[in-house]
Amino acid sequence: MASLFDESTFTDTDVIIKDGDDVIFKEETLAEVEPQPYLNTSEDSNGTGTKDQEYTVQEAVDAMGFGWFQVKISFIVGFNWMADAFEIMLLSVLSDKLRCEWDLYPYQQALLTTFVFTGYFIGAPLWGMMGDKFGRKKTLALCSFYIFYFGFLSSFSPNLIWLLILRGLLGASLGGTSQSVIICAEFLPSKSRGLCLVCLEAFWVIGVCLEITLAMVVMPTLGWRYLLIFSSFPLVIFVVLVTFLPESASYQQASGNWSGAMATLEDISRTNKKPLPPGKLKRNAELKPKGSIRELFSTKLLAMTTVILINLWFCNAFLYYGNVLLSAELFSSGVTSCVSTGNNSTTELECFSACKSLDTQGYVGLLVSSLGEIPGILLTLFMIDTAGRKLTMGLEMLVCAVFSFLLLMCVDGIPQMIFIFVIRGMISGAFQALYVYTPEVFPTNVRSVGLGWCVAFSKLGSIVTPFVAQVLIKQSVFMTFCVYGGCAVFASLLAFILPVETKGRTLK
């Protein structure tokens, strides 16, 4: 006969309450029991457990897997990407409109984009160092507020000088948005990190398409000032949403805030309804200098990776934003991408010099070419965890180069739109794979500053590209497409020679 207290006598839903010498049986359903994080009975309130078993934050996240906690983080970060896409896509339609309204020279039109990315270049490493010193969440909230603030103020600009200053300050604030990628990456399990970070690109595409649609409705009726105001409002919503975003547990552990890291892990455990691994959070991890640029070159492997990455980021931004601006130029002018000579060349220059803003057909063309980013996302989703990060970036850049050179053929209308559609998709896919690779390859103590410097160098590409897409194209269509095609070939080679593949790699 089984003993009264034999645990095989009870089901998983029976609760035993001992009151003096009496034993009370209380049956509860699993739904009535609030999920609690798993803690060993030997653990104290600070999350310490057995001395023999220890785990890092990433090991705990991997053990608990992907769940509702990660879904919440992804949607909040995704909304940030969508809001930032409003401000970036605005550049292509704003410069085109102001060229006619303020009678701007081509170089002045290019400066509207260049000033934004110059600010981005200056701001990105500074926000990166702030993220490693003061936390990802605080940095992201502060920079998002400033993006809204300067975006709203720029709508009241009385002249070009004031607009350039305010858009430059907005660009400096945009430099901190990479913190959203870092905080998301540090909460994702290793097996699903690549897939989830690529899915964030969908929010960017949504933002781009919404901004083009908004411009198509607002620009002809209310004007560009109202477009600037409406485009800044999503950042207000994000500043509210960021209050629901927890601080990165990896950052807390690297900072020595073990109790904060443990509280965050317990929150993940409750939300995902998955137990923490047995043992205690590792406390004897070496606390390395945070936010130090010198650490990016502390080893030969890390130095080589850093140098290749900053060049790869430069090329990706040069190609992506160049294609966005180039699309607006081609669709507004109605010029083909044909290599012209003689009188035809003169006709092309006259078309570019004529003051033409985007009409409905031009906006539709811009919208369709932007939708090319969706197939790029799907292709990257398929390849990034099968072929790996390096091969994905390398092959997509190679396809981008092929179609860039194909634009030298005498095509217009739908064929031209298809070529730009493919180019946009390949660049977008490669860019997103790069956003996955970079946080994975840098260790936690320099992840934010490493990504910050990579983003900064990408903005050098963004600073230069308007003078190709908006100035050089008015002089030579042939040279414009050769520059972009050659850059794509170079980017492909850089991706292939990266020394480390991070597929399935645990964050360090």
Domain assignments of the chain as residue spans, ordered by start: 7-58+256-281, 65-254+290-496
Q: What is the pLDDT of residue 308?
A: 94
Which amino acid would we find at residue 175? Answer: G
Helix H or strand E encompassing 250: helix 249-254
pLDDT tens sequence for the chain (508 residues) = 444 434 444 344 344 344 444 444 344 443 444 444 444 443 443 444 445 688 888 888 888 888 899 899 889 988 888 888 888 888 878 887 888 788 888 888 888 888 988 998 888 888 888 887 888 888 999 999 999 999 999 999 999 999 999 999 999 998 888 788 888 888 888 887 777 877 887 888 888 889 989 999 998 889 899 999 999 988 888 988 888 888 888 888 877 788 888 898 999 999 988 888 888 887 755 555 555 677 788 788 889 999 999 999 999 999 998 888 888 777 766 555 554 444 444 444 444 445 666 777 778 878 888 888 888 888 988 898 888 899 999 999 999 999 999 888 866 667 888 888 899 899 989 988 998 898 888 887 778 788 878 888 888 898 899 889 888 888 888 899 999 999 999 999 999 999 988 887 766 6
Residues 388 and 495: beta-carbon distance below 8 Å: no
Which amino acid would we find at residue 212? Answer: I
Q: What is the pLDDT of residue 451?
A: 81
d(CA 424, CA 415): 14
Q: What is the pLDDT of residue 27?
A: 41
CATH code: domain 65-254+290-496 is: 1.20.1250.20
d(CA 349, CA 359): 20
Helix intervals (H) in 135-199: 136-154, 160-174, 178-185, 190-199
Q: What is the pLDDT of residue 355?
A: 61
Q: What is the pLDDT of residue 194?
A: 75
Q: Measured in Å, how far apart are the chain's first and last C-alpha atoms?
A: 54
CA torsion through residues 19, 21, 27, 30, sign = positive
**Of 53, 508, 506, 442, residue with least CA distance to 282:** 53
The pTM of this model reads: 0.71
Q: What is the pLDDT of residue 315?
A: 95
Structural Rg of the chain based on CA atoms: 26
d(CA 280, CA 365): 56
Q: What is the pLDDT of residue 52?
A: 63
Give the DSSP letter of residue 409.
S
148 bridge partner residues: none
382 token code pair = 């398929």
Tell me how far CA of residue 394 lies from CA of 46, 216, 406, 421, 434, in angstroms: 46, 35, 19, 19, 10
- Long-range Cβ pairs for the range 7-12 (8 Å, 24+): none
DSSP string spanning 50-83?
-SS-EE-HHHHHHHH-S-HHHHHHHHHHHHHHHH
